[in-house]
Every structure is written in structure tokens, then in C-alpha cells.
Amino acid sequence: MSERKIVDAKNTFCPGPLMELIGQMKMAEIGDELEILSTDQGSAADIPEWINKVGHEMVETSENDGVWHIVVKKIK
């Protein structure tokens, strides 16, 4: 399995974390997993919505101490 890349988008607001994730996704290889860190609750809901809409794979999501961790696998 490819290494999981951390995208730290803490302390900004929607749609900042989504845009940071997309920027990193563009550079990632198919099959790579990215873990986005966000302190913005709106983004925690919106990013999975985007993942489903564009057809990547949602791996897992969790929250710890006000930081959401959303893991996505690049499919295409």
C-alpha cells in the first residue's frame, strides 16, 4: 500500500481545507491515501460530500480534540 500523506489544513475555514485537499490530490498517484486535518466542522461534513460526488473513496473519518481526520483514497 502507498504511504498515507497528511494534509494539514487546520485553522482555516470552508472551503480552504477542501481546496488544500484537491491541490494535494492533483499531485497524488491513483491508489494513494490522503488524510486531511481540519478544525472546521463545516469542512468535516463538506469534504466527504465532495469525495462522494467526484467518485473518490472515503476511507474513514474521526474527530479528536476538535480536529477532524478525513481519509480519502484517490481512485482516478
Is 11 in the active site?
Answer: no
Please give the size of the binding site for other proteins, defined by CB under 8 A. Answer: 16
Report the SS3 class of residue 2. Answer: coil
Pairing mode, if any, of strands 4-8 and 33-38?
A: parallel
Binding of other proteins by 66 (CB under 8 A)? no
CB of 10 to other proteins, least distance (A): 10
For residue 18, give the C-alpha cell: 477542501
x/- track of binding to other proteins for residues 18-37 (CB under 8 A): xx--xx--x-----------
Binding of other proteins by 39 (CB under 8 A)? no
- All residues at 6 or more sequence positions from 16 whose CB lies less than 8 Å from its CB, including other chains: 9, 40, 43
Residues taking part in catalysis: 14
